[in-house]
């Protein structure tokens, strides 16, 4: 039969083919497919008329994208072509919620033009990642669908970052997840709706910044931070985090000072904490640190179900002895999960 010679890829129902296409696109590098390259719906749409019809009629294939407008990007080679491509991509996403990463090392005319196209569709932003120089990325209008905001400014010294406005008051009622890159300081952020946040990740956080986060965001359920000690940190005041169930702490790669006693301070109370994961390398958790950890957990009276500590000969011998009330919850090893921007 002539029909038997037709490829299965041409006989698959459109909804099945759309799922296959979505899986193909997700196999590319990173969380977001670039609008140029080999892992885009554009490539699928030129295979045959059937595939083209499916890709053009499936908005979600176009609703996740990575706009790389750095100086080494192909987007810099043609000032006219790439804004048109981005506009076309956004049109094909129809009304689907958008998840995107906007990446550039400078906001020149080319990058600003691309950003303007994104801003025109701000009411559809659901997950937004900005890896670009600091600026008023999201301020200036409603963001009714925004749930996740990632801020990872282009390389500058932390001390040189001026305050910049992020979100207008009341503009992002669903924003609950925020990720702060290592070049973001808490003091530089304006307009973040801290009180409604439930999840926060910090790629480089001083102890005093973490305490400020706890004061500003009392409804956090999950928090992870790469900590770098600072000699000038003041003694923290009493803080209770009534909803924090998961806390992950690791040493920032370029940290030179130990931070254990500063972060796990006895003035911090975590009454519902269930999971505490600590990655302390290159430093070592010593007997005094275990004693402090025991006091910290006992004072909080938290229902710990998992206490993950670094794997070392000393901790394997001493941790469960020093923390008898939490012995069943103790595990050893590297962090199983860590957000990578």
What are 297-315's pLDDT values in tens digits? Answer: 999 999 999 999 999 889 9
Task: Give the mean model confidence (pLDDT) for residues 235-247.
Answer: 92
Rounded CA gap, 178 and 138, in Å?
Answer: 13
Q: Is residue 47 predicted with pLDDT exceeding 60?
A: yes
Compute and round to an integer the Cα radius of gyration of the chain.
24
Q: Is residue 322 predicted with pLDDT exceeding 90?
A: yes
- Count CA atoms within 13 Å of residue 247 on its CB side: 25
More confident: 13 or 142:
142
- Cα–Cα dist 273/263, whole Å: 15
CA 286/CA 293 separation, integer angstroms: 11
Please state whether 333 falls in left (phi above 0), alpha (psi between -120 and 50) or beta.
left
Q: Quick one: pLDDT at residue 232?
A: 62
Pick the closest to residue 289 from 329, 262, 324 (CA basis): 262
Tell me how far apart the alpha carbons of residues 269 and 275 are, in angstroms, rounded to a whole number: 14
Q: Is the pLDDT score of 185 beyond 90?
A: no
Other CB atoms closer than 10 Å to residue 43's CB: what's the count? 14
pLDDT for 202 equals 96
The SS3 of residue 160 is helix
* SS3 category, 32: coil
């Amino acid at each position: 039969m002539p029909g038997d010679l037709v490829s299965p890829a041409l006989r698959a129902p459109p909804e099945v083919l759309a799922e296959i296409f979505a899986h193909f696109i997700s196999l590319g590098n990173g969380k977001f497919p670039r609008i140029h390259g080999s892992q885009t719906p554009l490539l699928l749409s030129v295979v045959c008329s059937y595939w083209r019809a499916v890709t053009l009629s499936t908005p979600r294939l176009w609703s996740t994208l990575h706009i790389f407008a750095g100086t080494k990007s192909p987007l810099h080679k043609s000032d006219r072509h790439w804004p048109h491509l981005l506009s076309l991509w956004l049109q094909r996403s129809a009304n689907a919620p958008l998840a995107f990463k906007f990446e550039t090392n400078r906001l020149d005319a080319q990058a600003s033009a691309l950003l303007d196209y994104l801003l025109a569709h701000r009411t559809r932003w659901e997950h937004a990642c900005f890896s670009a120089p600091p600026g008023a990325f999201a301020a200036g209008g409603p963001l009714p669908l925004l749930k996740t905001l990632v801020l990872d400014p282009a390389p500058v010294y932390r001390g040189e970052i001026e305050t910049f406005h992020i979100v207008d008051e009341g503009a992002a009622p669903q924003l609950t997840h925020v990720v702060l890159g290592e070049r973001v300081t808490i003091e530089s952020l304006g307009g973040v709706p801290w009180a409604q946040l439930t999840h926060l990740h910090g790629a480089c956080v001083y102890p005093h910044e973490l305490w400020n986060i706890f004061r500003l965001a009392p409804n956090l359920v999950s928090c992870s931070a790469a900590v770098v000690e600072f000699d000038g940190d003041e003694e923290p005041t009493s803080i209770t985090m009534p909803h924090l169930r998961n806390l992950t702490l690791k040493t920032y790669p370029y940290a030179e000072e130990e931070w254990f006693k500063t972060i796990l301070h006895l003035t911090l109370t975590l009454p519902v904490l269930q999971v505490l994961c600590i990655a302390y390398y290159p430093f070592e958790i010593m007997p005094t640190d275990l004693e402090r950890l025991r006091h910290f957990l006992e004072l909080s009276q938290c229902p710990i179900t998992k206490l993950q500590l670094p794997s070392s000969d000393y901790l394997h011998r001493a941790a469960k002895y020093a923390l008898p009330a939490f012995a069943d919850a103790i595990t050893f090893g590297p962090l199983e999960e860590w957000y990578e921007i």
